[in-house]
Copies of this chain bind each other. A is one copy, B any other.
Amino acid sequence: MANSASGESMISRVARVVAALDDDHPGLTVSGLAEVTHLPIATTHRIVRDLVDIGWVHKDADGRVRLGLRLWEIVNRGSVARELRTVARPYMEDVHSVVKQHTQLGILEDGDVLFLECFSRRGSVDNAVTVAGRLPAHISSAGLVIMAFAPPAAQEVFLRANAMLVPDLRGRLEQIRRNGYAVVDGMLHANTSGIAVPIWDKSKFSVAALSVVVPRDPAEVNLAVPALLIAARGISRELGFRDPQRREAYAHEAATNPRNYQSMERRAG
């Protein structure tokens, strides 16, 4: 593979260009892209031209570069996210129709919660979550519930990284395990609560979280918790979950992938 003078592979430079288009800007010009990616402008031009040729990006009439639908289509058909979303969506709609507030599916990715799906309707409470958005694990109910049911070694890393940020984090995780769900009141918005339950597949660890964001009110929590628990059981069953009493000794990659905890390690120092 052709490397640049710096030894960086071509594909890594392409990845930088594609990732730079993953932002809130309405597309970037080639010179804007070169600036953001710190690539030479000639290199950026060549990469953009090649990406246009294969249909992964297109150039607007005003010269701004955007990711194209072809890449969106490939990735949404082929990604590992697909099975989990496909299984979860009907159950999420059930929850959403009962709770009538933001209903979300999150997975641990590189130390954050990455949200794979989010149902919202107009008039819902404030919410920090979007599809393909992220939240740090320690400030979201989804992250806390995934960590409460994560492998013990991963929990220790998480506790070390975040102990200074969240009072009595160890006690909170223990309580989440006892309850079977996590409630986070007013952390991202003062007037809302996040509520999350774990989803398992064949492993004995949480592979994802199903969560809602509701007005901060005990009645809302009382409605949401059973709805979430029932839905999470349905999703887990379809994913091949077996009864915890008969847990098997193998673990799912998503729960044990060391990359998920490396960034926490780095933060923990």
Q: Which residues of A contact B (CB under 8 A)?
A: 1-2, 9-12, 14-15, 18-19, 21-23, 46-47, 50-51, 53-54, 56, 58, 60-61, 66-81, 85-86, 89-90, 93-94, 96-97, 107, 109-110, 114, 119-122, 130-134, 253
Contacts and interface: CB of A to CB of B under 8 A. Distances in A.
Contacts of A81: 69, 72
Contact of A76 (B15, B76, B89): B76
24 contacts: A1-B10, A1-B47, A9-B50, A10-B10, A11-B14, A11-B47, A11-B50, A11-B54, A12-B53, A21-B74, A22-B75, A58-B80, A60-B253, A67-B79, A69-B114, A72-B75, A72-B76, A73-B109, A73-B132, A76-B131, A89-B120, A90-B120, A90-B121, A93-B120
Contacts of A54: 11-12, 15
A17 to B, nearest CB: 10
Contact of A80 (B18, B68, B79, B131): B68
Contact of A132 (B11, B76, B107): B76
B22 A78 contact: yes
Contacts of A19: 74
Contact of A253 (B1, B61, B93): B61
A42 to B, nearest CB: 11
A173 to B, nearest CB: 24
B10 A77 contact: no
A1 B79 contact: no
A242 to B, nearest CB: 19
A54 B8 CA distance: 11
A18 B10 CA distance: 16
B66 A80 contact: yes
A50 to B, nearest CB: 4
Given A12-B53, A120-B89, A122-B90, A77 B1 contact: no
